[in-house]
Amino acid sequence: MKLKDWDFNLKVRLAGEGLHSILFWMFFPFMAIYFSNVFGKELAGLLLIFAELIGVVVGLFGGYWADYFGRKRMMVYATAGEAFSFVLFAIANSPWIELPVLSFVSFAFMGLSGAIYTPASHAMVADVVPEKDRSAVFAVFYTMINISVVIGPVLGGIFFFSYRFEFLVFCFLITSILMIVLQKLIRETAPPKKKRAGGQDIHWTKSLMSQLSDYKVISTDKTFLLFIVAGILVAQTFMQLDLVMAVYTTEFIHEQTLFSLGNWSLTVDGRQTFSWILAENGFLVALFTLAMTKWMTKYKERNVFVISAVLYGVAIILFGHTVSIGFLLIATALFTAAELMVVGLQESFVSRLAPEHMRGQYFAASSLRFTIGRTIAPISIPMTVWFGFSWTFIILGILAFLSAGLYYILFNQYDARQRGKEANTVIS
């Protein structure tokens, strides 16, 4: 599906969300550094966990609200909430006053707004794009996000730390403009509200119970349970990119000269190094996702998942045991390779693992790998106080290695199950 054939709603969103995504990646990766500096690592980790929990809880209702109130309305409300968050964030970091607690409140409120916006935005794509073209449309939005990951952190390393108040005011203005654009230019795409047999609207409690019931499939399928647990374990590694890895580079990487040519030299400090690491990750993801996915389909899934988890473990241990920017960039390349190896295989494996009549439940439950993983991941920051950075990175690496072991076991179980099905088919 070519861009010129897209629904007008999606064209407006791609432009507006592209700019907004750059702004998001100019501050979001640095929040772990900011909170660690103002609250200390232990409290910062607990606060980040609390902020993630808020997003998880609100996310349970996001899909229901998008169906009940409409996609457009929830997207506008969420954007308005984010604009208000930037007002609070700017006040908390103004030249006249500094209120770290208010900064955290605004950050948590941004997470809440995102949990409202995302289900509505995804649902709108499904509303206006034929099923055969949806993957291509989502891929364009995914590519846009990764371009933002390349640009945003590099700019954020400058503006977030040196011109924070002015930057946050600018974010408020852009987000407010996006809210007005969504309100004025896009149309509502939601179908009529869902009804029960008696003709009444489905109550929100019924919607919530329906979502929670999706997760019951975990306890009935041991192979799928292993897939979820292995995903949660390895998530503790790949979700550290803007958590403990951010804090580590800021504290331990001092100014280093990378290039020198006559009187000109390129010198970077820890914050700039972290920006480069994020940019490298985003650039490699945007450039090699399709090629890596095509390459990995030639190998057994078991080997791909196991090697990916091992690479995550090796990369994060290497990351935590060097202060050389060159080695950090190499570790980031390994880290990104591990990410790209499985990004195109995970959903296809879930679709094969799930019985045809339960695929929706399986896909809903599979998201627990990320929701639970993202909620637990900030505990790594206080771990650096309890165990030190070196042991924290080793522990995270061990979790990735344990994940590799679980992937090996689950694929053996899956293969055995498939052989059993084939045997039963032959007998019948």
Residue 268 has pLDDT above 50, yes or no: yes
Residue 194 has pLDDT above 60, yes or no: no
| Spatial CA neighbour of 124 closest among 204, 57, 194, 182 | 182
**pTM for the complete prediction?**
0.79
For residues 243 and 260, the model is more confident at: 243
* pLDDT tens profile 95-152: 988 899 999 999 999 988 888 888 888 788 778 887 777 667 777 877 788 788 888 8
Q: What is the pLDDT of residue 175?
A: 93
Q: Are 338 and 238 in contact (CB under 8 A)?
A: yes
Q: What is the pLDDT of residue 264?
A: 72
Arithmetic mean of pLDDT over the chain: 83
Six token digits for residue 126: 């499904």
Q: What is the pLDDT of residue 83?
A: 94
Q: Are strands 264-268 and 256-261 parallel, antiparallel or unpaired?
A: antiparallel
For residues 20 and 367, the model is more confident at: 20
Q: Which of the residue ranges 186-195, 281-290, 364-373 has the most confident prediction, judged by mean pLDDT? A: 281-290
* pLDDT tens profile 219-236: 778 888 898 899 999 999
* pLDDT tens profile 24-34: 888 888 888 89
Q: In the structure, what pLDDT confidence band is assigned to residue 427 with cuts at 50, 70 and 90?
A: low
Q: Are 370 and 233 in contact (CB under 8 A)?
A: no
Mean pLDDT of 194-216: 58
Least confident interval from 295-299, 306-310, 375-379: 295-299
